[in-house]
Structure formats: C-alpha cells, structure tokens
C-alpha cells in the first residue's frame, strides 16, 4: 500500500506510529472484543447531513482487508446520508490507539462479499448471516433503531487515517494519506 505518512507528534519528540501496528489492533477487534462486554469498543460513524452538518452515531463495524465495514437499516439517517454523499469517517479506540479513518463508503451487494463480512460479524459474536437475496444481512437481533432486516453492508475505503497512541507502550500521533 502506497501512503504518505505525517508525524503529528514530531515537535514533542514522539515517534511515527507504524500503520501496520494500528491495522493489527483494528483487525484484533474482530476476535478479541467481547460484544457482550460493557467495555467493548464502539465504532462511531460520521456522515454528512443534507444541510452539510455532521451526523455522528455508533455503528456495528469491523476492520477487514484494508477497509472498515459497517451495517445499517435502509431507512436510517446514516444510510440516506451515505446514499446522497459517500464521504464519511469512522473512529474507534483500540487497546493502544485512538483511530480515525475517513474516505468514501459504498453499499456492498455482491453476495460473496456480503457473506464474507457476515461471517466475520458472526465470528465476533453477533450472529449475522446473509438474507435470502444475498445482498443484505439478517440476525436475531440488532439495534432497534435500525428497523427490520435486511440490513445493508457498507465498505468505507480509507482516504486518510489518524492514530494517537494512548499508552507509554504506544506513543505517537500520526496521519496517513492512502
């Protein structure tokens, strides 16, 4: 992956954060973040409202294959916002970093890809599976505000990312342009 790296902590003598370390932390959330724990990681999605103001909400998400994947119901504000303007950002706190990635999101309808992402959610403890059409997902439960299944799957392809180390073992603050 070709990327430009900027050390935001250079003036404070902090090292560059290696993207590979951040990505490993993001990938680790799939199998090591208990979805039933009150201390689980929460992904926050920011989309653009029709009037240009930000809309920020928690979202079911995961990191896989260099992208952030999230799901939502067809009638939600975030689905309408992304349908109108794909620019968005997702942030999450991992064990070592506060992370934000921004880019464009697109609805995924390829049945093989929807099944792959549903299987990852199931592996993480949320029993998602493809719906009968293969272009959405279903599960025995979801956030009540999302409406009934099927729920849509979206891929956020990162354009930029930022990570801030949150411990002495992971110092630094770095921005990447992918």
pLDDT above 70 coverage of the chain, percent: 94
Q: Are 132 and 177 in contact (CB under 8 A)?
A: no
What was the pLDDT predicted at 118? 98
The answer on pLDDT for 157 being more than 60 is yes
Q: Which residues constitute the domain of residue 16?
A: 4-108+151-177
Neighbour-count burial of 102, counting CB atoms closer than 10 A to its CB (0-12 exposed, 13-18 middle, 19+ buried): middle
pLDDT tens, position by position, 19-54: 999 999 999 988 765 555 556 789 999 999 999 999
94 assigned to some structural domain: yes
Residue 28 and residue 43: Cα distance in Å, rounded? 14
Confidence of residue 1 (pLDDT cuts 50, 70, 90): low
Long-range contacts of 56-62 (CB under 8 A, 24+ apart): 59/90, 60/121, 60/126, 60/142, 60/143, 61/90, 61/92, 62/29, 62/30, 62/117, 62/120, 62/121, 62/124
Would you say residue 141 lies in a domain? no
Could you tell me the CATH number of the domain that includes residue 34? 2.30.110.10
CB 137 within 8 A of CB 148: no
Q: Render 81-105 in DSSP notation, one character per residue.
A: HHHH--EEEEEEE-SSEEEEEEEEE
| Angle (CA) 41 43 48, round 5° | 165
User: What pLDDT is recorded for position 35?
Assistant: 57
In this predicted structure, what is the pLDDT of residue 53?
98
What is the per-residue pLDDT across 99-127, written as a single tens digit (0 to 9) for each? 999 999 999 999 999 999 999 999 988 99
Cα separation, 45 vs 55, in Å, equals: 8
Check residue 168 and give its pLDDT: 87
**What would you measure as the largest C-alpha separation in the chain, in angstroms?**
55
Is the Cβ–Cβ distance between 47 and 81 less than 8 Å? yes
136 lies in some domain: no
> Does the reported pTM lie above 0.75?
yes
Contacts with 116 (C-beta within 8 Å, 6 or more apart), sequence order: 64
Mean predicted confidence (pLDDT) in 68-85: 97
> For the chain, how many structural domains are there in total?
1
- Looking at residue 144, its pLDDT comes to 86
Please say if the pLDDT value at position 65 is more than 90. yes
Q: Find the mean pLDDT for residues 127-139.
A: 97
140 domain residue, yes or no: no
Residue 84 in contact with residue 14, Cβ under 8 Å? Answer: no
Domain for residue 131, yes or no? no
Mean pLDDT, all residues of the chain = 93
Q: Which residue has the tokens 């992971």?
A: 170
Mean per-residue pLDDT for 155-162? 98
Residue 123 lies in a domain: no
* pLDDT of amino acid 78: 97
């Amino acid at each position: 992956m070709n990327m430009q790296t900027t050390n935001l902590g250079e003036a404070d003598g902090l090292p560059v954060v290696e993207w590979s370390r951040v990505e490993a932390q993001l990938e680790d959330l799939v199998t090591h973040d208990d979805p039933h724990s009150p201390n689980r990681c929460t992904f926050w999605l920011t989309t653009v409202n029709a009037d240009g103001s930000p809309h920020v909400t928690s979202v079911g998400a995961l990191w896989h294959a260099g992208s952030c994947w999230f799901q939502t119901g067809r009638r939600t504000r975030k689905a309408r916002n992304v349908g109108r303007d794909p620019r968005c950002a997702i942030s999450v706190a991992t064990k070592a970093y506060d992370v934000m990635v921004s880019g464009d999101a697109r609805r995924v309808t390829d049945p093989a890809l929807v099944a792959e992402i549903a299987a990852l959610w199931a592996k993480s403890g949320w029993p998602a599976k493809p719906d009968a059409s293969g272009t959405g997902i279903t599960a025995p439960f979801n956030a009540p505000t999302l409406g009934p299944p099927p729920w849509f799957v979206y891929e956020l392809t990162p354009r930029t990312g930022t990570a801030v180390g949150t411990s002495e073992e992971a110092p630094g603050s770095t921005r990447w342009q992918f």
